[in-house]
Structure 1
Amino acid sequence: MSLLKILYYPDKRLRLIAKPIDKINKSIKNIANNMLYTMYKEEGIGLAATQVNIQLQIIVINKIEQQKTNLVLINPKIIKKEGNISIEEGCLSIPDYRASVPRANYVKVQAINLYGEKIEIEAESILSICIQHEIDHLKGKLFIDYLSKFKQERLKKKFEKINKKRKIVF
């Protein structure tokens, strides 16, 4: 397995919209496995392909709460939302920053698994939040987009300075 390079905010590639996947093949399976490996190594609970500069609709989610195994969701789509919840979220692409974001407490999601089968997942609480967060990434949206414009501008300047120190160029 390979460790994939995570893109850091404000990298413009994080704003790209992922393309749907037509066919599950060895390449897609390798991408998903590398994403899982990267998520574990970076100590995340979820990762979207767009965060590792792969513009395909794939998200992976660690075993959390009611989930007994890791999730790999291809072309995920939320078909139902209910309730409200807000917790401090973080993101591997925006390290060392957390903020409360309004989300649905319950979601029902349609997706394709690594075997090419259509599946439906129902999730509540932290799993629901994680799925919504990762699906947002596939749409070019970050959790900080839910913050005020003032906070967003401050964060952008802060992370531009941090990335200069890390010698990360976009």
Structure 2
Amino acid sequence: MAIRPIVRFPDPRLRQKAQPVGTVDEAVRELARDLADTMRAAPGIGITAPHVGVLARLVVIQLETDPAPHIYIDPDITWTSPERIRHVEGSVSMPGVTDELERHARVRVRYRGLDGSEREEEAEELMAICLQHEIDQLDGVFWIDRLSKLKRDRLIKRFEKLQRIRA
């Protein structure tokens, strides 16, 4: 288990579509463990393989109330509720800035577990938001792409200013 370097915005890999994992082997399980460690160290509640520069469809999410991380291999949203909710979002690749987004209140996701078996899960509220956010990332949609151009531009300027201050 290791903490891997996180790809920072505006790295172009954050807008590339991740490829299916394929065979779930020890290398995939090790990447999942590393992602969990990296996410906790960031800190964050969700991370994808592209966040560490690996263009594979692998997501790790661990909410504050979860005893262990949830691991989703090749996840795909198969259903969304018509109801929507708003929540503040951010990214481990863009630390220090957040904004409110609207997403579906509930989702159903098909994915594979670490043992390679097919699974399906329904999620609501924060877990549904996290799944939509991280699956967007796998599809090359960075979270700020869901903001209006004005909000996105302001947020990018704020992030750039934070980076200059930290440098």
Partner SS state of residue 5, structure 1 = coil
Task: State whether structure 2 residue 52 is matched by structure 1 residue 52.
Answer: yes
Moved over 6 A (4+): none
In structure 2, what is the equivalent of residue 7 of structure 1? 7
Q: Does the CA contact (< 8 Å) of 1:10 and 1:159 recur in 2?
A: no
Deviates more, 1:112-121 or 1:86-95: 86-95
Letter in 1 for 2:116: G
Q: TM-score, normalization: structure 2?
A: 0.91
Deviation at 1:93, TM superposition (A): 1.1
Structure 1: which 5+ residue stretches go unaligned?
none
Q: Equivalents in 2 of 1:119, 1:54: separation in Å?
A: 23
| Deviation digits for residues 21-68 of structure 1 (CA, Å, limit 9, x no counterpart) | 110011111100100111111121110111110100000010455x55
Structure 2: which 5+ residue stretches go unaligned?
none
Q: Does the CA contact (< 8 Å) of 1:76 and 1:135 recur in 2?
A: yes
Alignment of 1:69-88 (within 5 A): 69-82=68-81, 83-88=83-88
Q: Equivalents in 2 of 1:109, 1:92: separation in Å?
A: 23
Deviates more, 1:36-45 or 1:125-134: 36-45
Identity of aligned residues (%): 35
Letter in 2 for 1:74: I
Q: Equivalents in 2 of 1:10, 1:166: separation in Å?
A: 16
Q: Equivalents in 1 of 2:88, 2:31: separation in Å?
A: 29
Q: CA RMSD in A?
A: 1.7
Alignment of 1:1-170 (within 5 A): 1-64=1-64, 69-82=68-81, 83-163=83-163
| Deviation digits for residues 74-118 of structure 1 (CA, Å, limit 9, x no counterpart) | 000000000211111121111111111110000000000000000
Deviation at 1:159, TM superposition (A): 3.2
Deviation at 1:69, TM superposition (A): 3.6
Deviates more, 1:35-44 or 1:51-60: 35-44
